[in-house]
Chains A and B, each alone.
Chain A
Amino acid sequence: MMKSGKHLQRLASVATLAAMVTLLWVIIALCREGLMHWHWWVLWRRPRELKAGGGLGPELINTLSMVALAECLSLPLGLATAIWLGEAKLPRRVREGLDGFFISFQSIPAIVVGLVAFEVLVGYFHWPLSVATGTLALTVLNVPQVVVFSRQAMAAVPDAWREGSLALGATALETVWRMVLPASLFALVDQLGLSFARLAGESALLIFTAGLNVGPHWGWFQPGETLAVHLWQVRTEGLMPDRAALAAETGIVLLAITALAIFGSKVWSLRLKAYQSGPGGGGP
């Protein structure tokens, strides 16, 4: 009899190792290049177009503020839509169709959203390429994601809990507010970090909505270049002599924001889950 056939498992292990090494290569190569020339002053200095020694202070502020604002706009809208989809009296077919609508919108290429935002906000309403335009475009991109992950998080709460709440006399929205949302909060927080990271790394959408420049100070209608756009611009058409180092330094700051958002939300989410489960308690 054949001794345990583990060829496929061994093959999978080797392929996994190769894939992980290559993925880490991307992160490590960027960090290495950036750390070799790292200067703390890039975090607050202003960019320079033609001379070395520029920083990315305004880009950092733009990235954080635009992504935070876009989350503040898209989270309530997306959550409300998810709650409505769950609670409104809809025929089953319609509900599934609407869920499918959001799932296909979740994969919409960012450049398509960027094109329409450019046509409507810049072309029709004559807004400048600015923080406000970019923030709205990010919001439109993010809402379908929020709807889908909120639906999934809320669907993970057992039906029996809902029935219990309703049987105790709570209304549908009271059930959502007092039971479903708290019970799925840890999942929502977990997704929030990923969503923040994804928006912070967005670039295709922002080139023609937020623009490739920064203003003299932060403002709604000031040009709103972000870190990701800056990295692209410096690396592909930058003219400053230290562009290679600057691109990698921008990349490090961007990776740090991404990692912090994901790690922070993960820790927060795990603590919420532990708190909810409690000693001897049960959570989903």
Chain B
Amino acid sequence: MNIQEASRRRSERVWMGVVAVASGLVFTVLGFLVAVLVMGAIGFAAQHGLVHTLLGARWQPLAGRLQIGLFIVDSALVTALAMLLALPFGIAVAIFGSLVAGAWERTVLRWILTLASAVPSVAYGWWGLAVVVPGIRGLGLGAGYGLVSAGLVLALMILPTFSVLAWEAILAVPEDWHQTSLALGANDDQNIIRLVLPASMAGLQTAFLTALARAVGETMAVQMVLGGAVSHFYGLFGPGATLTTQILTDMAVLPVGSPNHGVLDFMALVLFLGVTLMTGTMGRQVRGRGRP
């Protein structure tokens, strides 16, 4: 081994070390983040009781009544509403984009979806305040601030993400399969129902779960139109509060170091575990690549 070769080996080791240290830092910070949440949440749950906190619906943070059941229900309702609305439209966009649209339409559609998926959530919230809230009020369905308004805004917000992922899932169906299906005499409807949707089901599920995770975690767009009622359930058109919006609201009410601050960690951990469960059930997106 000559000197040049030895120095190459050494620089390889040094750089591998640099890369390892940088990723070690990343793992430490993210692990620390989870640890902070878990510690805070355990401290809180030990004091107030797990079941009591999760299933109760009384929220008076300054009086020490800290039960988050209502927020979980509201989070679930708003998210379910958003997904129910976004699902059919998202799949329609994916089918149109991959099977129906010509080159020109496809480009326009792609651009709109890309831009819309990057539009800030406060902009969707702004639209909710400007259009959805007055609209629902105009229909005589209450003040306009409420779970349904939040679900509508949220549905629109996750639609671009869901459509793009679903589109890619459908594109992954091999062209040969389409040809075979059509050659067997299937018409376009039968092709979609019997071939395209079943064949891309795994990808569609991934798209659905990704959009679901994003919907559950969204704060601002929901907060702006939700109304923020914490005391009891006012129905679908009535105001409410989700886990995310209530963390935001009560960061000022329960500052760090105050005795009941741990409930915020608890709520954040519930959110994080929920989202991890959703993404954890997804198929592998990035395939692990070993050394060749």
What residues of chain A have their CB less than 8 Å away from a CB belonging to chain B?
Answer: 2, 4-9, 11-13, 15-16, 18-20, 22-27, 29-30, 33, 76-78, 80-81, 83-90, 92, 95-96, 99-101, 103-113, 115-116, 118-120, 122-124, 140, 143-144, 147-148, 151-152, 154-155, 159, 162-163, 166, 171-174, 194, 197-198, 200-204, 207-208, 228-229, 231-232, 235-236, 247-248, 251, 254-255, 258-259, 261-262
Contact = CB atoms under 8 A, between A and B. Distances in A.
Given A80-B26, A92-B288, A258-B120, 12 more contacts: A9-B95, A16-B89, A26-B127, A77-B25, A101-B30, A108-B275, A109-B272, A119-B261, A201-B120, A202-B120, A203-B120, A258-B118
Nearest to B252: A208
B88 interface: yes
A107 B216 CA distance: 10
Nearest to B22: A80
Interface in B262-288: 264-265, 268, 271-272, 275-276, 278-280, 282, 284-288
11 contacts: A8-B189, A12-B100, A24-B112, A27-B115, A77-B22, A84-B19, A99-B285, A100-B284, A103-B282, A172-B16, A204-B121
B220 A107 contact: no
Interface residues of B, number: 100
A115 B264 contact: yes
Contacts of B26: 77-78, 80-81, 143, 147
B147 interface: no
A201 B121 contact: yes
Interface stretch (B57-65, B66-74, B172-180, B243-251): B243-251
B96 interface: yes
Interface string B20-42: 10110111011011001100100
Given A27-B116, A80-B19, A123 B256 contact: yes
Contact of B126 (A7, A13, A30): A30
A107 B120 contact: no
A92 B18 CA distance: 22
B119 A13 contact: no
B188 A4 contact: yes
B165 to A, nearest CB: 12
B109 interface: yes
- In the A-B complex, the 5 residue pairs with the smallest Cβ-Cβ separation, listed nearest first, are A201-B120, A109-B217, A123-B256, A15-B92, A80-B22
A159 to B, nearest CB: 6
B208 interface: no
B40 A119 contact: yes
B247 A29 contact: no
Contacts of B16: 87-88, 172-173
A111 B165 CA distance: 24
B292 A15 contact: no
B156 interface: yes
B81 interface: no
A62 to B, nearest CB: 15
Among A18, A83, A89, A115, the one with the most B-chain Cβ atoms within 10 Å of its Cβ is A115
A80 B23 contact: yes
